[in-house]
Amino acid sequence: MKVDRRSFLSFVIGGAAGTALSPLPWKLMDDSSIWSQMWPWTPVPPDGEVVYEDSTCTLCPGGCGISVRKVDNRAVKIEGKQGHPINDGGICILGLSGLQMLYGPTRVKSPMKRIGERGDGQWQKISWDEAIAILTEKLIDIRDKGEAHTVAAIAGSDSGTVPALIQRFMTAYGSPNFMRTPSGRDADELAVNTLFGNQGRTGFDVENADYILSFGSGIVDGWGSPVRMFRASSLWKDKKTTVVQVEPRLSNSAAKATRWVPVNPGTEADLALGIAAVMVSRNMIDTGAVSGLSSWKSDLLANYATEKVSQTTGVAAEVIAELAKGFAGANRPLALCGRGKAQTAGSLRDIAAVYALNALAGNINQEGGMWPIPEADYIQWRDVATDNLASAGLSQPRIDGAGAGKYAQTRYLASRLADAVNGNGPYPLQVLLVASANPCHDLPDTQRVKEAFARIPFIVSFSSFHDETAAMADLLMPDHVYLERYEDVPVDAGLTQQMIGLSRPVVSPQFNTRHLGETLISAAKAMGEPMADAFPWDDYETCLEETLAEKWDTLMEDGVWVQADIDPVGDRLQLAGMDADAVQAEGDVNSFPLLLLPYDTIRLTSGYIGEAPFMIKTVADTVIKGNDGFVEVNPQTARAAGLGQGDMATLTTPRGEAQVRVHLFEGIQPGVLAMARGLGHTAYDAFLAGKGVNINTLIGPVEDPSSGHDAAWGIRATLSKA
């Protein structure tokens, strides 16, 4: 039998007929189309029981309540907690992005020690026991040599049990060098102390005010407790409250205001005092809550005559008069200050001028007014028994110069840390502990800060993330992120109540991390007496529960503890602090004819948390394009420099230089440039690193003569075609 061509064809035809009559082609077609619709590599999120767990967000000082949606053990969405006194269901862009931080690739997944050169990013995973041993051996060694004061700690906050544990650790150890990263709180605390004569902070009853005069405060850009302020802003719209925004640039807050009053950069206090002078001269004031007016009056009227103020601020004389009339004539006027998110301390003069304005309008401790109130004082631990080594260390001056000499009233001066370490301090630092802070990105003059960090022989980072400061560290002892831990969250941020939120674990720790409170307690115990004696708790949770005492049950039940009726720390404002000269921008006006201002936006973070991928995704292509950052320029200024939209330019300041793109913006005064704060990260992941310019590399601290605080609001600059 020969298989010829015809037989073969017949076989094929038979095969084809049979195939067509079998399910094979039809089923394959169906299956392959299904396959192509649902590629096996597209993730299929597992379904399960949905539960909501409530906690408190700690990504910013705002203190919002959150509800985390979980599917079985996975957290899948963060939402605002309904009925919470601060945010009542609302939530900000950062709070919404929290899960990208929890599950993100930039987590420090285990304790690690550096094995390569500093900044090389070469780490070796170690056990927690080993990490504690490395830390405590180092610390004991230094302490035994009587050099306890050469150990410093820098943290993002000084309130709540965890910062209190750090402070207690430093005290028991014998170092005066606990520092809080700079923010508007510094100047606020100083102003309350100076003007009301007591420790405390201000609260602003924004919801009940009926005329808001904001001196550059980013009401909807992240100032205060951001979600509270968003809600207040909408409430004002409903109530038709007048909102005046005094600011050199048309920020989102200015755009939302009833009226935007452009002002020359850095002259906000002059305008405030100019308005005060009009009010005083026309007797539109309430003297009930002001002391020292009679002696100040003539100075005020002489130095802040309307014409003169108009000259300084660039605000027309009739506008100044209108503002004075509107503010003084309102039922419940309220003036706010702290530029943008108030991320730098600012000068005492800036803040005192605005607080004085509030006092002259008679709103101190009034509905819709300003309330100087005490911090919630719930941490009542017995005093640390210091031994001789500790006492010797504690008697040394602080490395940043705060609390002594001309800065006697100042508590922290972290902005001077770099300078002190780079040779202008009283002694060299041997160890720096960094917690919930990222000074290598967030402190002004980043190059100098990095230089200083390179000089510190041993740096320990407690960061949960591979941030810029962790990159400079020798030992990483990663903290849980907020969704994995218990923590009390005292909220100040301009609230008129005392409020404590509770963060609690929503998911179990994802990696081999440890609660910072736990790390400190176990380190102290490992160091033996007298350190161990100062930390009598078995673990952090015991410490927290004991500390919160009767508040614990409320917090476990409601997630938040609120004390509404608080005795203010003062009811009369002593006029002071306003005779200092205005702080000028650094740089020579001839070599640097332009002014560069940092601006804040809620879409970028402040503080030590780097932006999550979702946040960066929302950033406009006129802020970042590819890796290029933009600088906002008035078209007139750009034209003069021969620059157009999107052009590459070289931006130079006395502190540094950067390549930037030009974004033409009519909402900025000619001669002024603005750049977003919070970009230009070098650490983290590819979703964040390398995007834009860190404005802190272009700007340096300018000391407030009254306090030593960093009062820089901008820097002189030039912009030329690249």
Partner 1 sequence: MKNEHNDNPPVMKFGMAIDLDKCTGCGACMVACMSENNIPFKEDESDKLVSITWMRIFKLSNGKSFPDTDICYLPRPCQHCEGHGGHSPCVSVCPATATDYSRETGIVSQIVTRCFGCRYCMGACPYHARYFNWWDPVWPDGMEKYLSPNVSPRMRGVVEKCSFCFHRYQLAKNKAYLDGERRVPEEAYQTACTQACPAGAIVFGDLNNPEHQVHQIVKPDPKHGGRSQNPRAFRLLERLGTNTKVYYLSSREWVRRSGDNYLEHEKTGQASQPHH
Partner 2 sequence: MSTLDEKAKEGMDDHATHGSDGKQSGAGGFIILFFIIGFAASMVLGWVIFPKLLYSQKQQPFSFNHALHVEEVDDGCESCHFFREDGSFSGTPKLAQCTECHEEPMGDTEDEAIFVEQYVTMEREVPWLSYSRQPDCVFFSHAAHVIGAKMDCVVCHGHIGESEESRPYEYNRITTYSRDIWGHNIAGFAKNSWDRMKMDDCARCHKEAGVIHTSSVQTERDACFVCHK
Alpha-carbon span 393 to 403, nearest angstrom: 15
Q: Are 79 and 66 in contact (CB under 8 A)?
A: yes
Alpha-carbon span 328 to 575, nearest angstrom: 18
Is residue 629 classed as helix, strand or coil in its secondary structure?
strand
Identified binder of partner 1 from the candidate list 89, 326, 646, 705, rule CB under 8 A? 89
- Burial class (CB within 10 angstroms; exposed 0-12, middle 13-18, buried 19+) of 686: exposed
Identified binder of partner 2 from the candidate list 47, 565, 581, 666, rule CB under 8 A? 47
Q: Are 486 and 540 in contact (CB under 8 A)?
A: yes
Identified binder of partner 2 from the candidate list 41, 44, 202, 364, rule CB under 8 A? 44
Alpha-carbon span 470 to 88, nearest angstrom: 35
Strands (E), 308-357: 333-340
Q: Which of 124, 188, 621 is nearest to 410 (CA)?
A: 188
Question: Residue 676 interacts with partner 1 (CB under 8 A)?
Answer: no
**Cβ closest to partner 1, residue 403 vs residue 509:** 509
The window from 320-328, 383-391, 517-525, 682-690 that contacts partner 1 (CB under 8 A) reads 682-690
Q: Are 661 and 646 in contact (CB under 8 A)?
A: yes
Residues 546-585 that bind partner 1 (CB under 8 A): none
Alpha-carbon span 275 to 323, nearest angstrom: 7
Identified binder of partner 1 from the candidate list 9, 28, 589, 620, rule CB under 8 A? 620
Is residue 589 classed as helix, strand or coil in its secondary structure?
coil
Question: Residue 40 interacts with partner 2 (CB under 8 A)?
Answer: yes
Residue 17 C-beta: closest distance to partner 2, Å: 6
Question: Residue 142 interacts with partner 1 (CB under 8 A)?
Answer: no
Question: Residue 13 interacts with partner 2 (CB under 8 A)?
Answer: yes
**Cβ closest to partner 1, residue 91 vs residue 379:** 91
Is residue 437 classed as helix, strand or coil in its secondary structure?
coil
Alpha-carbon span 64 to 581, nearest angstrom: 38
Residue 22 C-beta: closest distance to partner 2, Å: 2
Residue 705 tokens read as 């003569």
Residue 318 C-beta: closest distance to partner 1, Å: 15
Question: Residue 427 interacts with partner 2 (CB under 8 A)?
Answer: no
Residues in the chain, overall count: 722
Q: Which does 41 bind (CB under 5 to 8 A by kind): partner 1, partner 2, none?
A: partner 1
**Cβ closest to partner 1, residue 371 vs residue 684:** 684
**Cβ closest to partner 1, residue 37 vs residue 590:** 37
Question: Residue 76 interacts with partner 2 (CB under 8 A)?
Answer: no
Question: Residue 362 interacts with partner 1 (CB under 8 A)?
Answer: no
Question: Residue 21 interacts with partner 2 (CB under 8 A)?
Answer: yes
**Cβ closest to partner 2, residue 17 vs residue 556:** 17
Alpha-carbon span 612 to 604, nearest angstrom: 9
Give me the torsion for CA of 471, 477, 481, 486, rounded to 10°.
-150
Residues 236-265 that bind partner 1 (CB under 8 A): 237, 250, 252, 255-256, 260, 262
The window from 6-14, 344-352, 400-408, 416-424 that contacts partner 2 (CB under 8 A) reads 6-14
Question: Residue 4 interacts with partner 2 (CB under 8 A)?
Answer: yes
Residue 676 tokens read as 């977003």
The interaxial angle of helices 24-37 and 5-20, nearest 10 deg, is 60
Question: Residue 41 interacts with partner 2 (CB under 8 A)?
Answer: no
Identified binder of partner 1 from the candidate list 27, 145, 239, 617, rule CB under 8 A? 617
Q: Which residues bind partner 2 (CB under 8 A)?
A: 1, 3-4, 6-8, 10-19, 21-25, 27-28, 31-32, 34-35, 37-38, 40, 44-45, 47, 49-50, 72
